[in-house]
Amino acid sequence: MEAKSFLLNGILVIDKPQGLTSTQTLEQVKKFLKVKKAGHGGTLDPIATGVLPIFLNNTTKLAEIFLEGDKVYEGEFQLGISTETYDITGEIIAKKKVPDIGIDEIQKIADSFLGEIEQVPPPFSATKYRGRPLYKYARNGVYIPKSPRKIKINEFKILEKNNSKVRFYLHCSKGTYVRSLIHDLGEKLNCGAVLVNLRRLKKSVFTLDKAITLEKLKELSFQGLDKILPFIIPPEEALEFLPKVIVSEDLSQRIRDGQQIYTSSFLSFIKFQKLVISPTEKWIRIVTTRGKLVAIIENPLLNPSATYIKYFKVFKD
């Protein structure tokens, strides 16, 4: 591929294959596209496949914004066994007889997880303790207890049951460990359960229908940059869900030049334009009258007493 990878500024949605970590997938993308700066938005376990957003070049900082978004999965779990990792890849630590229960009974248990709940991260996870992931401690037989974290389960539907295998659909908040959810469901069923496979259909605004496989990406990378560009989502498009403030070309240039803008002046500007922006929104995008993305700022309504607005990301071009 011709050496124009600096043009690849945007988000590439990869359909992550099973068996690779998110970091390994990221390294493959960097290799195929010959980009030095890239990051992924939202870790997937090696057992999982599906939506993995890759942020290229000057959009890497934007990953933080999309980490806030919900996730949607389809997957399968197996009743009757428990493993140390809470999925089928781990060492089996218990086997129990599967009770004679149908979908409706399993659904009742699944419904008990709906809404805001507290969840303890699994012992084999990327959650860190003193700078090291928990799985590195667990591999050495050291299990670090972690405090439960608040998550939200929007939907947890049982789709099909085939003997001890059960398919499900899940819509959940950031920070949710699906393995832990399945483990906890198995405990409530008094027979244990482990995750067998998992496919992420959506992460924040990124969906599977926009994704490309690593194999296809490798193939296109040999055909030229123009073959890759249609799969790159521009930041302007990806960030459309954020509230926006339209500014003049003069003000947009001042922002690009790094000039500080008084919070009071900016809030007056919003009021003058009669813009309705929720004080709970974390980010605001600033665009020109021609729709060009200028910057992402922290919502000044969150800290109206601050002297200046706080830039999160300024787009120079």
Pair (178, 111) in one structural domain: yes
Pick the catalytic residue: 15, 45, 87, 184?
Answer: 45
Tell me the HSE value of 74 on the side-chain side, using a 13 A CA sphere. 7
Pair (126, 103) in one structural domain: yes
Is the pLDDT score of 205 beyond 90? yes
Residues 117 and 151: beta-carbon distance below 8 Å: yes
Pair (291, 210) in one structural domain: no
Pair (77, 63) in one structural domain: no
The 10s digit of each residue's pLDDT in 269-311 is 888 878 888 888 899 999 998 888 999 999 999 998 999 999 9
Is the pLDDT score of 74 beyond 80? yes
What is the structure's pLDDT at 149? 87
DSSP character at residue 254: H
Which range marks the domain in which residue 251 is found?
A: 242-314
Distance between CA 292 and CA 303 in Å, rounded?
26
Q: Is 45 a catalytic residue?
A: yes
HEC assignment per residue over 145-171: CCCCEEEEEEEEEEEEEECCEEEEEEE
Pair (83, 188) in one structural domain: yes
Structure tokens at 137: 């401690």
Pair (118, 147) in one structural domain: yes
- Run of H or E including 283: strand 283-288
Residue ranges in the chain assigned as alpha helix (H)? 22-33, 63-66, 103-111, 134-138, 178-188, 214-221, 225-228, 235-238, 249-256, 263-272
pLDDT top residue among 276 and 50: 50
Pair (45, 153) in one structural domain: no
The 10s digit of each residue's pLDDT in 155-169 is 999 999 999 999 999
Pair (306, 160) in one structural domain: no
Number of domains in the chain: 3
Angle subtended at Cα 316 by Cα 14 and Cα 28, rounded to the nearest 5 degrees: 20
Pair (95, 38) in one structural domain: no
pTM confidence score: 0.87
What letter represents residue 51's amino acid? V
What is the CATH classification number for the domain harbouring 139?
3.30.2350.10
